[in-house]
Amino acid sequence: MSWTEMQPLLYDNTLDTLFMVWWSTFYAVLFGIPAGVLLHLTDRGALLQNVVVNKVLGAIVNIGRSFPFLILIVVLIPFTRLVVGVSIGPTGAVVPLAIAAIPFFARLVEAALREVDHGLVEAAQAMGGGTWTIIFKVLLPQALPALVAAVTTTVITLIGYSAIAGAVGGGGLGNLAYTYGYQQYETSLMITTVVELIVLVTLVQLLGDLIVRRLAGRGTRPSSSVRVGLRRARTEEPAAVTEPA
């Protein structure tokens, strides 16, 4: 196959891959952040400690993460058809991709929030800050570099998953490599597709690393009120009790 013949195929299937990865990442972030925050807040010793909720949600997340993606696509065919009306093509692939990515991203969010200085949370609590204030003024801003790194890792994982989805009718570069490269013995097209996937992954990683470095270099400082409360919490000590001579 000549380069002129490959160009339209590569262009169309690259757009399909980007479509799948974009929308599945969007839904992973939309639902993964609340799930990860809830996992963190209901853990032992956390603000909303609730062992039952934490264990149930953790079990759901663990099951979702451990399910083989190829089997997940097949199992979700009826659900996918119910949600989007089709079970194949890029639109049909978004549903299993998103469902696979949500628990994966939720665990990364939970891990990112664990790294936040607990002293900042205590300072916000001491000043009367409620749960929502702590989430949006302390936890998420402080964990922002780690969250961006988590999104980067999720996007790269989804690029790989999209290639698997493409091989079973999902469209995109995976479908192109399988249908033309493998089944029709177009070795040059398969190599080109693999190289393009590598380039996509590399670009995503470089962009993610750049954003993380910028955020880390600038620093995600807590609000002034939280900083004041933290300083007070660290400097104030209970008055010493003196016994009469």
> Around 109, how many Cα atoms within 13 Å sit in the side-chain half-sphere?
27
Alpha-carbon dihedral angle through residues 229, 40, 117, 238, given to the nearest 10 degrees: 50
Dump pLDDT digits (tens) for 154-203: 999 999 999 888 877 788 888 888 777 766 777 888 888 889 999 999 99
Global pTM reads: 0.85
- Lowest-pLDDT range, 21-35, 43-57, 184-198? 184-198
What is residue 1's predicted lDDT score, i.e. its pLDDT? Answer: 61
Region 198-217: mean pLDDT is 93
What is residue 62's predicted lDDT score, i.e. its pLDDT? Answer: 94
The whole-chain average pLDDT of the chain stands at 85
For residue 182, give Cα distances in angstroms to 176, 179, 230: 9, 6, 61
- Of the candidates 35, 5, 51, 39, the one whose C-alpha atom is nearest the C-alpha of residue 192 is 5
Q: How many helices (H) and strands (E) does the chain have?
A: 12, 0
What is residue 221's predicted lDDT score, i.e. its pLDDT? Answer: 58
